């Protein structure tokens, strides 16, 4: 049986965070009442004239530069013709043969290997409206259309078919999201649809250079959905080939609930877009000085920031990559560092307990109740010996829940570490007296026995005894 | 001459449901239009660069400012059917 490998390319759509739409002054605000953010231009009424929003062009240039693309000298808009009620004009204004940016790349890391993934192109286009179905798209009696989103600016970023596994595809999308968030041109919220992703996937025998027939997968609304859908589709295509069948080039939709991809009906795929230059929009001749200025104003991007964390703060590559994976997390980390300079300690808390609590509670770092200054304060209390590391974890959880200051939690709950020799000594003596057999074990060379004794002391002191002192005193007295 | 298959394709793209007579009629008419436009092929355009726009204009932009929206009633005025705030359309697929 042949071993197959997947060949995957992604098309990522990103909504740009401008105030007004791409070709008209209607608001891009999310969540307005249906059909209230519309004007004659985005409704496609006859006789209107679309005019390009200059910030859209600048943002697209920014995205292109952040993805290491060349920026076009000359670029234009084209009409992509298709009949679908989410587009009131029956065409979408997009870019066909002269996109704003081409030939870039981004680097991903999967497990321990780095990989460079080619970016074919970045182009600007208008978003379509939103259709509301009753139940399912194929069974709904009719659909309702909200044109608020029509004309919201998008960039579409097309990758080379360089990805080989669902994990690489996910890493690519995560990196893409991070880079774009860093540039500040989009929120990249997958749940609100400001970051969307379609995948082209085919399989071929390992070692073969020839591409197989691809399918296009749509409707993957999370990183996990992307990964799952690509796993499913790889297996599905492999089964078809192994059973002697052939892959049909088609668009398939990911059904999240059932965990499968489904063929979309073929009528929908009667694609013949008949692109032609949009006569309403004049060409763009991109001023090189402008490109230079945009480039100079690019903020520090994830890879640069990661490198800085490794070189300046001595973080490991892995830690630096995790912390810089989103701009918000990295910003939080740096805000903590302003108040407490031990980067490794801050990094450990941010990557460890904080990330764990955020994930468990489904909380965004931007909504985190622990302010950077409060985390710093807690670390200072640990350094001073006021609380032990173990107590700190409990304090931290309380801070996460309530947003209170660590000092307040510690004094209210009576968590101050006991560092009084007399007080600890008394407990140590009791524990030794109560556990003669364990003491003998330790004398006989069973190091683990000490851990048990430490645990007993901690139990009596409700975790408040200074662990170093407990260790030392136990050892001293057993000798 | 356009073939019937080509007429069918264009009709599908335009979401038109044509009878056999109409296909013949429109096929003939479209063919004549294309024949007429073909005259342009007689011109030697070897030295003419492809153009993206017929007017000598470039770089026309607007500032990113929000302007007035259409009042809902105006926006819905041409809706073939409506349902509350929404345009109502037949099932798509």
pLDDT at residue A453, as a whole number: 87
Regarding whether A304 and A237 lie in a shared domain, the answer is no
Strands (E), A64-112: 70-71, 74-75, 78-81, 91-94, 101-110
pLDDT at residue A265, as a whole number: 65
Regarding whether A166 and A276 lie in a shared domain, the answer is yes
Which of B52, B85, B93 is the closest to A33 by Cβ?
B85
Which of A56, A76, A143 is the closest to B92 by Cβ?
A143
Regarding whether A382 and A276 lie in a shared domain, the answer is no
Last residue of a domain, one of A293, A313, A348: A293
Tell me the CATH number at A434. Answer: 1.10.10.410
Our CA-based measurement puts residue B47 at a distance from the nearest CA of chain A, in whole angstroms, of: 20
Our CA-based measurement puts residue A415 at a distance from the nearest CA of chain B, in whole angstroms, of: 55
| Cβ contact A53–B61 (<8 Å) | yes
How far apart are alpha carbons A140 and A133 in whole angstroms?
A: 6
Our CA-based measurement puts residue B90 at a distance from the nearest CA of chain A, in whole angstroms, of: 5
Asked if B78 has any chain A CB less than 8 Å from its own CB, the reply is yes
Asked if B67 has any chain A CB less than 8 Å from its own CB, the reply is yes
Q: pLDDT for B49-59, tens place per residue? A: 888 888 889 99
Regarding whether A143 and A211 lie in a shared domain, the answer is yes
Our CA-based measurement puts residue A187 at a distance from the nearest CA of chain B, in whole angstroms, of: 18
Does a structural domain hold residue B85? no
Regarding whether A370 and A265 lie in a shared domain, the answer is no
Listing DSSP states for A237-261 in one string gives: HHHHHHTT--PPPEEEEEETTTTEE
Interface test with A, best of B15, B51, B54, B91 (most A CBs within 10 A): B91
Please list every residue in chain B whose beta carbon sits closer than 8 Å to the beta carbon of residue A134. Answer: none
How far apart are alpha carbons B75 and A45 in whole angstroms?
A: 10
Phi-psi region of A425 (alpha: psi -120 to 50; beta: other; left: phi over 0): alpha
pLDDT at residue A21, as a whole number: 97
Does A368 score more than 70 pLDDT? Answer: yes
Regarding whether A126 and A44 lie in a shared domain, the answer is yes
Q: Which of A226-230, A350-354, A415-419 has the highest mean pLDDT?
A: A226-230
Regarding whether A187 and A125 lie in a shared domain, the answer is yes
Interface test with A, best of B7, B12, B14, B69 (most A CBs within 10 A): B69
Average pLDDT score over residue span A91-102: 96
| Cβ contact B93–A138 (<8 Å) | yes
Whether A358 and A365 have beta carbons less than 8 Å apart is answered as yes
Which of B54, B64, B78 is the closest to A53 by Cβ?
B64
Last residue of a domain, one of A413, A440, A461: A413
Percent of chain A with pLDDT over 70: 97
Regarding whether A473 and A400 lie in a shared domain, the answer is no
pLDDT band at A428 (very low <50, low <70, confident <90, very high): confident
CA distances from A195 to A64, A174, A383, B77 (A): 16, 11, 42, 33
| Cβ contact B86–A34 (<8 Å) | yes
The model carries a pTM of 0.83
Closest CA to A331 of A365, A378, A360: A365
Does A103 score more than 70 pLDDT? Answer: yes
Interface test with A, best of B14, B16, B49, B70 (most A CBs within 10 A): B70
pLDDT band at A403 (very low <50, low <70, confident <90, very high): confident
Place of tokens 């006569």: A279
Last residue of a domain, one of A247, A268, A293: A293
Regarding whether A363 and A337 lie in a shared domain, the answer is yes
Counting the structural domains of chain A, the total is 3
Average pLDDT score over residue span A429-440: 86
Regarding whether A250 and A122 lie in a shared domain, the answer is yes
Listing DSSP states for A300-352 in one string gives: PPHHHHHHHHHHHH---HHHHHHHTTSHHHHHHHHHHHHH---HHHHHHHIII
Searching chain A, which residue's CA lies closest to the CA of residue B9? A270
Our CA-based measurement puts residue B20 at a distance from the nearest CA of chain A, in whole angstroms, of: 21
How far apart are alpha carbons A335 and A339 in whole angstroms?
A: 7
Domain housing B23: 4-42
Q: pLDDT for A175-195, tens place per residue? A: 999 999 999 999 898 888 899
Does A281 score more than 80 pLDDT? Answer: yes
pLDDT at residue A137, as a whole number: 66
Asked if B57 has any chain A CB less than 8 Å from its own CB, the reply is yes
Which of A26, A35, A52 is the closest to B61 by Cβ?
A52
Please list every residue in chain A whose beta carbon sits closer than 8 Å to the beta carbon of residue B13. Answer: 81-83, 270, 272, 274
Does a structural domain hold residue B29? yes
Between A66 and A328, the more confident residue is A66
Closest CA to A473 of A423, A438, A404: A423
Our CA-based measurement puts residue A52 at a distance from the nearest CA of chain B, in whole angstroms, of: 5
- Min mean pLDDT across A71-75, A222-226, A270-274, B63-67 is at A270-274
Q: What is the CA radius of gyration of chain B?
A: 22
Please list every residue in chain A whose beta carbon sits closer than 8 Å to the beta carbon of residue B65. Answer: 19-20, 25
Asked if B5 has any chain A CB less than 8 Å from its own CB, the reply is no
Counting the structural domains of chain B, the total is 1
Q: pLDDT for A56-70, tens place per residue? A: 999 999 999 999 999
Does A294 score more than 70 pLDDT? Answer: yes
Please list every residue in chain A whose beta carbon sits closer than 8 Å to the beta carbon of residue B90. Answer: 142-143
How far apart are alpha carbons A478 and A424 in whole angstroms?
A: 15
Searching chain B, which residue's CA lies closest to the CA of residue A143? B89
Q: Mean pLDDT over all residues of chain A? A: 90
Helical pair A54-66 and A166-183, crossing angle rounded to 10 deg: 130
Q: How far from chain centre, in Å, is Cα A314? A: 24
Regarding whether A407 and A287 lie in a shared domain, the answer is no
Does A162 score more than 90 pLDDT? Answer: yes
Tell me the CATH number at B19. Answer: 1.10.20.60
Q: Which residues are within 8 A (CB) of A199 and not within 5 positions of it... i.e. 6 or more apart?
A: A8, A9, A10, A11, A169, A216, A217, A220, A226, A229, A230, A233
| Cβ contact A37–B68 (<8 Å) | no
Regarding whether A455 and A377 lie in a shared domain, the answer is no
Whether A128 and A87 have beta carbons less than 8 Å apart is answered as yes
Domain housing A469: 421-478
Does A267 score more than 70 pLDDT? Answer: no
Phi-psi region of A175 (alpha: psi -120 to 50; beta: other; left: phi over 0): alpha
How far apart are alpha carbons B43 and B64 in whole angstroms?
A: 43
Does B27 score more than 70 pLDDT? Answer: yes
pLDDT at residue A268, as a whole number: 47
């Amino acid at each position: 049986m042949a071993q197959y490998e997947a060949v995957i390319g992604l098309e990522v759509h990103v909504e740009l965070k401008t105030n007004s739409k791409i070709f008209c002054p209607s608001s891009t605000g999310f969540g307005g009442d249906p059909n209230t953010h519309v004007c004659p231009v985005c409704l496609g009424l006859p006789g209107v004239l679309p005019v390009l929003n200059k910030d859209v062009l600048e943002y697209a240039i920014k995205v292109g530069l952040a993805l290491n693309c060349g920026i076009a000298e000359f670029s234009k808009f084209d009409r992509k013709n298709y009949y679908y009620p989410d587009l009131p004009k029956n065409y979408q204004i997009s870019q066909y043969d002269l996109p704003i940016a081409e030939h870039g790349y981004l680097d991903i890391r999967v497990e321990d290997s780095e990989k460079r993934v080619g970016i074919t192109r970045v182009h600007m286009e208008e978003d379509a409206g939103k259709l509301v179905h009753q139940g399912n798209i194929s069974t709904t009696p009719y659909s309702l259309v909200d044109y608020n989103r029509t004309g919201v600016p998008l960039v579409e970023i097309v990758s080379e078919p360089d990805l080989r596994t669902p994990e690489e595809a996910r890493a690519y999308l995560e990196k893409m999201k991070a880079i774009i968030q860093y540039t500040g041109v989009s929120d990249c919220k997958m749940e609100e649809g400001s970051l969307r992703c379609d995948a082209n996937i085919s399989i071929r025998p390992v070692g073969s250079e020839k591409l197989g027939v691809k399918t296009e997968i749509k409707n993957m609304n999370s990183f996990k959905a992307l990964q799952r859908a690509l796993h499913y589709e790889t297996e599905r295509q492999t089964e078809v080939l192994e059973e002697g069948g052939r892959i049909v080039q088609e668009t398939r939709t990911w059904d999240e609930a059932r965990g499968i991809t489904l063929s979309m009906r073929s009528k929908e795929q009667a694609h013949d877009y008949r692109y032609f230059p949009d006569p309403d929009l004049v060409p763009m001749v991109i001023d090189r000085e402008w490109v230079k200025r945009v480039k100079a104003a690019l903020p520090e991007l994830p890879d640069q920031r990661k490198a800085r964390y490794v070189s300046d703060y001595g973080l490991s590559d892995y830690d630096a990559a995790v912390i810089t994976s989103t701009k918000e997390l990295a910003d939080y980390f740096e805000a903590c560092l302003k108040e407490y300079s031990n980067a490794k300690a801050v990094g450990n808390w941010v990557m460890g307990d904080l990330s764990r609590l955020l994930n468990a509670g489904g909380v965004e770092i931007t909504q985190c109740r622990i302010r950077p200054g409060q985390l710093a304060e807690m670390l200072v209390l640990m350094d001073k010996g006021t609380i032990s590391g173990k107590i700190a974890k409990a304090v931290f959880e309380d801070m996460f829940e309530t947003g209170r200051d660590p000092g307040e939690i510690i004094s209210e709950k009576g968590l101050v570490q006991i560092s009084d020799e007399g007080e600890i000594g008394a407990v140590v003596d009791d524990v030794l007296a109560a556990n003669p057999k364990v003491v003998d074990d330790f004398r006989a060379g069973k190091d683990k026995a000490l851990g048990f004794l430490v645990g007993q002391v901690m139990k009596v002191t409700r975790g408040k005894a200074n662990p170093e002192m407990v260790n030392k005193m136990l050892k001293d007295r057993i000798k | 001459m356009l073939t019937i298959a080509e007429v069918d394709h264009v009709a599908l793209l335009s979401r038109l449901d044509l009878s056999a007579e109409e296909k013949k009629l429109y096929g003939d008419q479209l063919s004549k239009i294309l024949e007429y436009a073909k005259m342009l092929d007689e011109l030697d355009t070897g030295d003419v660069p492809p153009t993206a726009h017929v007017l000598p204009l470039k770089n026309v932009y607007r500032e990113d400012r929000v302007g007035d929206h259409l009042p809902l009633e105006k926006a819905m005025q041409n809706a073939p059917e409506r349902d509350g705030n929404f345009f109502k359309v037949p099932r798509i697929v």
